[in-house]
Amino acid sequence: MDEVLGNLPKLAKEKHAENKKFFAKLKKKPPKDLDYVMQELHEEEFQRTDCLTCANCCKTTGPLFTTADVERIAKHLRLKPQKFIDTYLRVDEENDYVLQSVPCTFLDAENYCMIYDVRPKACREFPHTDRKKFQQISNLTLKNVAICPAAFNIVEEMKRRVKLK
Ligand code: SF4
Ligand code: SF4
In percent, how much of the chain has pLDDT > 90? 95
* pTM (predicted TM-score): 0.93
Which atom in ligand 2 lies closest to the alpha carbon of residue 122? 4
Q: What's the per-residue H, E or C state across the chain?
A: CHHHHHHHHHHHHHHHHHHHHHHHHHHHCCCCCHHHHHHHHHHHHHHHCCHHHCCHHHHHCCCEECHHHHHHHHHHCCCCHHHHHHHHEEECCCCCEEECCCCCCCECCCCCECCHHHCCHHHHHCCCCCCCCHHHHHHHHHHHCCCCHHHHHHHHHHHHHCCCC
The Cα 81–Cα 85 span in angstroms is 6
Per residue in 7-50, pLDDT tens? 999 999 999 999 999 999 999 999 999 999 999 999 999 999 99
Q: Which atom of ligand 1 is nearest to the CA of 150?
A: 7
Q: Which atom of ligand 1 is nearest to the CA of 151?
A: 2
- Among 107, 116, 148, residue to substitute to test ligand 2 (most atoms within 8 Å of Cβ): 107
Ligand 1 pocket by Cβ (under 6 Å)? 49, 51, 54-57, 126-127, 147-150
Taking the CA of 105 as reference, the closest ligand is: 2
- Using one digit for the tens of pLDDT, what is the confidence trace for 57-100? 999 998 999 999 999 999 999 999 999 999 999 999 999 999 99
> Ligand 2 — pocket residues by CB below 6 A?
58, 62-63, 104, 106-107, 113, 115, 119-120, 123
Separation of alpha carbons 77 and 103, rounded Å: 19
The pLDDT value recorded for residue 90 is 97
pLDDT tens-digit series, residues 92-115: 999 999 999 999 999 999 999 999
Where do the domains of the chain lie? Answer: 31-59+126-165, 64-120
Residue from 138, 112, 154 nearest 23 by CA: 138
Q: What are residue 65's DSSP bridge partners? A: 97
Residue 2 gets the label, from left (phi > 0), alpha (psi -120 to 50) or beta, of alpha
Instruction: Report which protein residue has its CA nearest ligand 1's atom 2.
Output: 148
The pLDDT, as a whole number, for residue 163 is 84
**Which atom of ligand 2 is nearest the CA belonging to 115?**
2
pLDDT exceeds cutoff 90 at 116: yes
